[in-house]
Amino acid sequence: MASFSFDVAHMLAGGLVLVSFMMLYQDRLYSLLNVLALHAIMLALSVAWQAYIQHAPHLYITVALALGFKAIVIPMALRRMVFRMGIHREVETVVGIGLTMLVAIALVALSMEVMLPVTTHSDPMAREDIALALSVLLIGLLMMVTRRNAVSQIVGFMSLENGIVLAATGAQGMPLVVEISVAFSILIAFIVIGIFLFRIRERFDTVDDQALDRFRGEH
């Protein structure tokens, strides 16, 4: 049973990393949002499995939060935003997909290389989870760095946060309060960013952050 539950947890966390990779090569906003929803569903599955094997019922609340907010509410809201801004047909110029993928692979290797030796003495499940969570986090950051559209930067941020939640649930004994407060801070960040997006758009007629630089007279 131990090895089975380990394998399943490993698979679900690995799936999350895989979905992160999928995110990297989406160049249309709608499909990117779909992948974000999928990302949240993978996270929910992974957390649910953790809740089952750790017998930690409070983790189901996290699952509900992930499914409700991250898989449904936020993608829907972003979709409406994109639609209202009329940028759903825009094809985003992504910095060389191949290069980004290579960097992402290197990041996954790096996080394995860093995390596995550090945590030799801890629970193997938590080890794998944390290493994979770190890769999700790094890929999310990479996404934010390589994209120019503010909406895809939000998506990168959300996936980064999913990585944090994965790490938190993998480690046993994480208090619920911390998770809930993380979830709420993400929600608030989302609202703030959303408002800013509309403000930026009202003023500059675009959500491409290069416009802001042009406005500042830098380029």
Partner 1 sequence: MSMVALVLSGAAALLVLAVLGVVCGRTGAGRPLIYGGSLLVCIAGTVIAGMSIAGEPSTIVLPLGLPWLGAHFRLDALGAFFLAIITIGGAGASLYALGYGRHEHEPLRVLPFYPAFLAGMTLVVVADDAFSFLFCWELMSLSSWALVLSHHRDRENTRAAYIYLLMATFGSLALLLAFGLLAGPGGNYAFAAMRETAHSSTVLVALVLSLSLLGAGSKAGLVPLHVWLPLAHPAAPSHVSALMSGVMTKVAIYAFVRIVFDLLGPPEWWWSLPVLSIGGTTAALGVLYALMERDLKRLLAYSTIENIGIVFLGLGLAIAFRANGMAGAAALALTAALFHAFNHMLFKSVLFFGSGTVLVATGELNIERLGGLIHRMPYSSAAFLIACLAISALPPLNGFASEWLMFQSILVSPDLPQWGLKLLVPTVGTLLALAAALAAACFVRAFGITYLGRPRSAVTEQAHEADRYSLAAMIGFAALCVVTGVFPGLVIDGLAPAVHGLVGARMPPQLSLPWLSIVPIADSRSSYNGLMIFLFSASSAILAAFVVHRLASRVVRRAGLWDCGYPGLGPLTQYSAASLSQPIRRVFGSYVFRSSERVEMPAPGEMGPARIRKTRHDMAWEMLYEPIVAGVAFASERLNMLQFLTIRRYLGFVFVALVFLLLALALWQ
Interface residues toward partner 1, by CB under 8 A = 107, 110-111, 113-114, 117-118, 138, 141-142, 144-145, 148, 209-210, 212-213, 216, 218
C-alpha distances out from residue 111 to 128, 132, 166, Å: 10, 8, 15
Structure tokens at 96: 């060389």
Cβ proximity to partner 1: between 29 and 150 the closer is 150
Of the pair 61, 193, the CB lying nearest partner 1 is at 193
In this complex, which beta carbon is closest to partner 1, that of residue 89 or of residue 216?
Answer: 216
Name the minimum Å distance from CB 146 to partner 1: 8
CB closer to partner 1, 11 vs 212: 212
Task: Give least dist CB 218 to partner 1, A.
Answer: 7
CB of 212 to partner 1, least distance (A): 7
In whole angstroms, give the CA distance from residue 79 to residue 68. Answer: 16
Residue 57 CB, nearest approach to partner 1 (Å): 33
The CB-of-124 to partner 1 minimum distance in angstroms stands at: 19
Closer to partner 1 at the Cβ: 61 or 112? 112
- Do 9 and 125 contact (CB within 8 A), yes or no? yes
